[in-house]
Amino acid sequence: MKRSILLAGLALLTLAACQKTPKTDPQPVDFSRYAVRLEPVVTRATETNFEKGDAIGLTITRTAGAYATNEKLTYDGSAFSGSLNWYSEGTDEATLKAYYPYIDTEDLPTRFSVQADQSKGTASSDFISAVKEGVLPSANAVSVVFKHQLSRLVVTVKNNSGADIEKVSFKEIIPVALIDENLAAKVDMNAKWQEITAFGKDDKYYAIVPGQTVTPTVVVTAGGKELSQQLAEATLEPGKQYSVSIIVNKEEIKVVLAGEIENWTDGGEITGGGPALEEHLTDGYILYDGTRYGVAQMKDGKWWMTQNLAYLPEGYTPATELTAVTAGVFAPVQVKADNSGAEFSTDPAVVAARGYLYQAEVALGLKVGELTSVAQAEALEGAQGICPKGWHVPTGADIIALVGKAVTPLETNADAPYYNGSNGSIALLNEDGFNMEAYGAISIQDNTKTSGTIMGWVKGYPDKISSGMFCGSTYAGVTYNTSGDETSGVKNLQFFGFMPMTNKATEAEYTCNGTKVSYRIAGPLRCVRN
């Protein structure tokens, strides 16, 4: 009994102790006490980072709408801050949009002009921006990555004139960019061109300009004499820099536009391997290795590129000779001006519109000659290849689900959204923004051939390319050097791909079905999202 009473007493004491320290819920943090602070990650045009006193514009948007619009924040050496505080709700996510240099407007800027005279520095012409989603209020600075939205020209001068270089400038360049809602820049083609004077430092000259396709004239002033030379046409892409080499003699200059030398991106951001990818699916495009491609979610439920891939893998030069049977990548083809046949084109505008032509091994991420067995070919189904990360080279299943028809053994899918009852229909595809046409191909029958032919042009329809073959990733067949003898080695491998045909009287009759494509044929590539 005494034991029972003792235990009961202890229980009562324990209960009393618990009652003296009641549990309370933590109070929510009022984040409106904290200033909005941004910690930038960026490499600017000529500086390693921002400098004290630099100002950016910041817009914060919540689900309910804009919380702050074009607020000015100033850099203190480690972060940007100002008079703007966070809202109080700590679980309400927001999208941050920031840009440099700050422009005093009521809303986000819609236009930006580089300085015509950049001889004292390029910083004020270097439009950079950052967009970050899913941000929560915090007492700490928010890390954001700024990206260059314009292009940079880097000029190297070899001076043989015996006189000092007084000025380097470019003519016929448009200095104005239009800024979209995501703070990306695009040249204003309605603006007038100006002469842009470059900034000189350590025998190099720098000029920042909006991305554009341009045929500029470079002008060098040395010893009071002005020497000029027109460059070849070049497409300058946002976020990239291009080198120009100049040799200045007493009476002339020699100029070479060496081309894109590297992505002009920040040095503080560590990203995964492979070319950079930004997806803007709801806006209908992706940025892959700095190039914009249209995309659309088709009625099969998948996201497809609506432009042919124009990505050039490292180490490749697009071939323009039909004897280059192992080149891996070929330039696109177009109809000759006199409608007498088809020809290669290296015009950047044609490349952008039609994409490169890829042999299957390169499209699938290999080098020509590395694919030597059926087992290897079968393992490549759905491979990313040279597509963006998270995308892949179309499979036979992708093709049938989209257009419904292909050669055997693939069975017709009468329920496919772009099957018209007898064929895959280009008209139906293009009604939904697929932008398909016949782009031609380079026909190389197998790996014993020493020359190919341009596929697609026919006399009956002389003003257009009428057929072609697209790359795919599903194994479709094999032939060996000795028929039926695997030990004799592979002569040819085939993959299922698209075959658009426009050799009909009306567009309503144009077809796009699945076909078998030999692995040495070079064709366009459309990537599909995983």
DSSP for 294-363, written as a single string: EEEE-TTS-EEESS------TT---B--TT-TT-SEE--EEE-TTSSSEEE---HHHHHHH--EEEHHHH
Quote the DSSP letter at residue 109: -
Distance CA 369, CA 322 (A): 18
First to last CA, the chain: 74
Angle at 515 between CA 519 and CA 300, to 5 degrees: 115
Distance CA 501, CA 111 (A): 43
Burial class of residue 18 in the structure, from the number of CB atoms within 10 Å of its CB (0-12 exposed, 13-18 middle, 19+ buried): exposed
Q: Which residue has the tokens 């020359």?
A: 451
Distance CA 329, CA 525 (A): 11
Residue in 464, 455, 417, 460 with CA at minimum distance from that of residue 437: 464
The model carries a pTM of 0.52
pLDDT of residue 252: 62
Q: Which residues have CB under 8 Å from 325's CB, separation 6+?
A: 444, 449, 450, 451, 452, 520
Cα 80 to chain centroid distance, Å, stands at: 29
For each of the domains in the chain, give its residue range(s) and CATH number, in order of start: 31-148 (2.60.40.2620), 151-263 (2.60.40.2630), 308-529 (no CATH)
Distance CA 344, CA 439 (A): 12
pLDDT of residue 128: 93
27-34 LR contacts (CB < 8 Å, sep 24+): 28/90, 29/90, 30/88, 31/86, 31/87, 31/88, 31/89, 31/90, 31/137, 31/138, 31/139, 32/85, 32/86, 32/87, 32/88, 33/85, 34/85, 34/86, 34/137, 34/138, 34/139
Distance CA 463, CA 342 (A): 10
pLDDT of residue 493: 97
Q: How far is CA 465 from CA 58, 219, 274, 339, in A?
A: 49, 42, 33, 10
Distance CA 359, CA 434 (A): 23
Residue in 171, 152, 176, 295 with CA at minimum distance from that of residue 237: 152
Q: Which residue has the tokens 């030069």?
A: 317
Q: How far is CA 19 from CA 6, 16, 23, 98, 360, in A?
A: 20, 5, 9, 52, 75
Residue in 359, 323, 327, 350 with CA at minimum distance from that of residue 453: 323
Distance CA 399, CA 117 (A): 53
pLDDT tens per residue across all 530 residues of the chain = 333 333 333 333 344 444 444 555 556 788 899 999 998 876 544 444 688 899 999 999 998 889 999 999 999 988 999 999 999 988 899 999 999 999 999 899 999 999 999 999 998 999 999 999 999 998 889 988 888 999 998 888 888 878 888 999 999 899 999 999 999 999 999 999 999 999 998 788 999 999 999 888 888 888 888 777 777 778 888 888 888 888 777 666 555 444 443 345 432 222 233 577 778 888 899 988 878 999 999 999 999 999 999 999 989 999 999 999 999 999 999 999 999 999 999 999 999 999 999 999 999 999 999 999 999 999 999 999 999 988 999 999 999 999 999 999 999 999 999 999 999 999 999 999 999 999 999 999 999 999 999 999 999 999 999 999 999 999 999 999 999 899 999 999 999 999 999 999 899 999 999 999 999 999 999 999 99
pLDDT of residue 255: 52
For residue 177, report the phi and psi dihedrals to the nearest 5 degrees.
Answer: -120, 145
Element (H, E) at 480: strand 474-482
How many CA atoms lie less than 13 Å away from 376 in the CB half-sphere?
Answer: 15
SS3 content of the chain, % helix, strand, coil (to 5): 10, 40, 50
pLDDT of residue 251: 63
pLDDT of residue 154: 86
CA-based torsion, 397, 398, 404, 405: positive or negative: negative
300-311 burial: b if 16+ Cβ within 10 Å, else e: beebbbbbbbbb
Q: Which residue has the tokens 């914060």?
A: 60
Q: Which residues have CB under 8 Å from 333's CB, separation 6+?
A: 342, 343, 344, 345, 354, 357, 439, 440, 442, 454, 456, 465
Q: 223: phi > 0 → left, psi -120 to 50 → alpha, else beta; which?
A: left
